[in-house]
Structure 1
Amino acid sequence: MNNNRAADKLNKVDKAAILLLALGESDAAQVLRHLGPKEVQRVGTAMAQMGNIQREQIETVMSEFVELVGHQTSLGIGSDSYIRKMLTQALGDEKAGGLIDRILLGGNTSGLDSLKWMEARAVADVIRYEHPQIQAIVIAYLDPDQASEILSYFDPKARLDIILRVSSLHTVQPAALKELNQILEKQFSGNSNTSRTALGGVKRAADIMNFLDSSLEGQLMEAIREVDTDLSGKIEDLMFVFGNLADVDDRGIQSLLREISSDVLVMALKGADDAIQEKFFKNMSKRAAELLRDDLESKGPVRVSDVEAAQKEILTVARRMADAGEISLGGKGGGEMI
């Protein structure tokens, strides 16, 4: 019984963090070497935030892991803050140092891929004085959440120019990618003379816009609308916003509820319409729904920015789960597994 209660308090990333902490530095490095930067960042963040780990939790995680590997050969660990800072906070300078070196030196990152390991501000500084088309290629190449954070470090005029170029970008010649890697003082890995690389497009622009803070998103969308009304409409059609959660199936909402805290949910629903609220209520137990209704009614006035931040947090979790194939997003930007 205690084991079950301990397990209920942990999400998948927490369990991965406990497993790696239990494995020890050398074995953990071997596991992390096979993950991408986003996955390492998420697990590192969870490790840094770990408080006192109960014996029951460790036993439960190990038991689940043994059962899991008996049926499959890979771990589906979810994907974000920053590897060096997070692992150092989790493990201390001395222990984290060797682990980080083994992860980074053992990886195969080069050229554009190396930017995925950098903080957004640092990437912005790297590309700030490059030609806008080069900036657009970099932004289109990186994951949307990192790309949106990088864009936030540019002024509105440059941000608009870059997102418009991303929208009109479709393929990039291998020679251009090779030249860009040389600019980044890295050799491009793989065969650079084989075929064009698909990159950018309106959907990519919409994905990046999804991760921008609401104020920046609104400003940028308005700027795009002034330049090209048709393009702004296409981007809006492809964006997934909080209201589109009404189109996610019940099983998806139930999975999402297991990954978000009640405090964040209350704040997000405080600014949501009745249809969205009911969508969540009907996918909870009767008791949980009653408690949520009480919390919503008793919560006083809240700032719009806090509501938007909570909704963004839930959307980030939803997109991560969709990327992992755990849920399917419907509505704008949905209709397919992504």
Structure 2
Amino acid sequence: MADTELDKTPSKLSGVDKASILLLSLGEETAAEVLKHMGPKEVQVIGMQMASLRNVGKGAVEDVVDEFLEKVEEQTGIGIGTEDYIRSTLKSALGEDKAGALIDRILAGANTKGLDTLKWMDSRSVADVIRFEHPQIQSIVLSYLDPDQASEILSLLPEKVRVDLMMRIAALEAVQPDALQELNDIMEKQFTGSGSSQSRQIGGVKTVADIMNFMDGANETLIMDSLRETDEDLVQQIEDLMFVFDNLIDVDDRGIQALLREVSTDTLIVALKACEEDIKEKIFKNMSKRAAELMRDDLDAMGPVKLSEVEAAQKEILTVARRMADAGEIVLGGGGEEMV
């Protein structure tokens, strides 16, 4: 993992940068208490950033702490994997001695059970767990997990089964309590914890669209083309529900401004490299005049960028946008209030 030297001004720090600096500034016990209240993805994102930070200036730390104190009543939404991953990341960030007590407190508070345990595993491990299960079980598991994790797992499964799984997920509507309990029990045989008898409304076309949103360009095209050969109407429904980078044009100005505060400048520049002009103008008009001018200059001076890098940057921004939408901080597709 490449080290990150933060010499940026506070306004250019992403939310993850700020959260990482803040946690590294806290004592072990306090940091552990904060991390225990985060979900798998939040711990993953912030843990990776903590591990990469080097040479953070005193001024940056003070600015981050001051900003946190001003917003102390707000919650920071940030998302990780296996126990070994947590140990490795935090030892890299804090050193083995300091990380020891912190890691124990974090892992003691995880309280994962049955199917929820899969959310704390890396995608390759989950793929190995479900690889030889019946496709219907695989489809339920993928529907149960968060879309970004499900997308990664799907890409690790054999190509010939991906389209079938997407068709099954699209056809899912609800899983009966006894069926979900049985599946939970299967997972518990490999892990620990107690099951839940609550029914879950999982699957459906929207779930497929959410998973597709996190697919890389090549796999997305392959799966959609294969689905189109089988069910053109289904593909149209999926496309209608997918939120892609160009859809940011429909987010209101207040939402764009909030999103820009959570995205690093470097990521944004790469993401805008292959955008239509209307998307660029949408972004520029929600920045300060000076910041917009600097970004235009950076884009003009930027050399050729691989399409895969542009897609990765755009998906990173979309991940932040979806997280903020889930938290009620922005509205995807418009409908929010304009800034006045």
- Please indicate, yes or no, whether the TM-score normalized by the shorter chain is above 0.5: yes
Q: Does 1:259 align with 2:243?
A: no
Question: Which residue does 1:242 correspond to in 2?
Answer: 245
Q: Does 1:135 align with 2:138?
A: yes
Q: Distance in 2 between matches of 1:317 and 1:191?
A: 30
Q: Write the mapping of 1:83-98 to structure 2, written as runs, cut at 5 A.
A: 83-98=86-101
Question: Which residue does 1:26 correspond to in 2?
Answer: 29
Question: Which residue does 2:5 correspond to in 1?
Answer: none
Q: Which of 45, 62, 66 is equivalent to 1:63?
A: 66
Q: Does 1:76 align with 2:79?
A: no
Question: Which residue does 2:294 correspond to in 1?
Answer: 291
Alpha-carbon distance change, 68 to 202 in structure 1, aligned in 2, over 3 angstroms: same
1:168-196 alpha-carbon deviations (Å, 9 max, x no partner): 1111122222222222215664651xx53
Question: Which residue does 1:157 correspond to in 2?
Answer: 160
> Unaligned stretches of 5+ in structure 2?
1-7
Shift of 1:6: 5.2
Number of residue pairs aligned between Structure 1 and Structure 2 = 325
Question: Which residue does 2:52 correspond to in 1?
Answer: 49
1:50-97 alpha-carbon deviations (Å, 9 max, x no partner): 21233333333333333433xx3x623323675333223212334334
Q: Distance in 1 between matches of 2:253 and 2:90?
A: 36
Question: Which residue does 2:308 correspond to in 1?
Answer: 305
Question: Which residue does 1:171 correspond to in 2?
Answer: 174
Alpha-carbon distance change, 95 to 258 in structure 1, aligned in 2, over 3 angstroms: same
Shift of 1:35: 1.5
Q: Which of 209, 212, 220 is equivalent to 1:209?
A: 212
Q: Distance in 1 between matches of 2:285 and 2:9?
A: 26
Please tell me whether the aligned partners of residues 6 and 56 of structure 1 are also in contact (alpha carbons under 8 angstroms).
no
Please tell me whether the aligned partners of residues 32 and 106 of structure 2 are also in contact (alpha carbons under 8 angstroms).
yes
Question: Which residue does 1:318 correspond to in 2?
Answer: 321
Alpha-carbon distance change, 188 to 238 in structure 1, aligned in 2, over 3 angstroms: farther
1:125 maps to a residue whose letter is D
Where relative contact order (Cα < 8 A, 6+ residues apart) is larger, the structure is 2
Please tell me whether the aligned partners of residues 151 and 215 of structure 2 are also in contact (alpha carbons under 8 angstroms).
yes
Q: Distance in 2 between matches of 1:60 and 1:300?
A: 33
Q: Distance in 1 between matches of 2:239 and 2:254?
A: 26
1:270-307 alpha-carbon deviations (Å, 9 max, x no partner): 21112112211222222322232233333333332222
Alpha-carbon distance change, 245 to 180 in structure 1, aligned in 2, over 3 angstroms: same
2:78 maps to a residue whose letter is G
Q: Distance in 2 between matches of 1:170 and 1:327?
A: 27
> Unaligned stretches of 5+ in structure 1?
none
Alpha-carbon distance change, 190 to 179 in structure 1, aligned in 2, over 3 angstroms: closer
Shift of 1:213: 0.7
SS in 1 for 2:54: coil
TM-score (norm 2): 0.87
Q: Which of 118, 121, 143 is equivalent to 2:121?
A: 118
Shift of 1:152: 0.9
Question: Which residue does 1:197 correspond to in 2?
Answer: 200
Alpha-carbon distance change, 321 to 41 in structure 1, aligned in 2, over 3 angstroms: same
SS in 2 for 1:197: coil
Please tell me whether the aligned partners of residues 206 and 236 of structure 1 are also in contact (alpha carbons under 8 angstroms).
yes
Please tell me whether the aligned partners of residues 259 and 317 of structure 1 are also in contact (alpha carbons under 8 angstroms).
yes
TM-score (norm 1): 0.88
Q: Sequence identity of aligned pairs in percent?
A: 61
Alpha-carbon distance change, 310 to 173 in structure 1, aligned in 2, over 3 angstroms: same
Please tell me whether the aligned partners of residues 137 and 200 of structure 1 are also in contact (alpha carbons under 8 angstroms).
yes
Please tell me whether the aligned partners of residues 143 and 202 of structure 2 are also in contact (alpha carbons under 8 angstroms).
yes
Q: Distance in 2 between matches of 1:162 and 1:170?
A: 14
Question: Which residue does 1:232 correspond to in 2?
Answer: 235
1:233-278 alpha-carbon deviations (Å, 9 max, x no partner): 1001000011111111112222222222333323222211121122
RMSD of aligned residue pairs (Cα, Å): 2.4
Q: Distance in 2 between matches of 1:172 and 1:249?
A: 36
Question: Which residue does 2:43 correspond to in 1?
Answer: 40
Shift of 1:220: 0.7
Alpha-carbon distance change, 297 to 13 in structure 1, aligned in 2, over 3 angstroms: closer
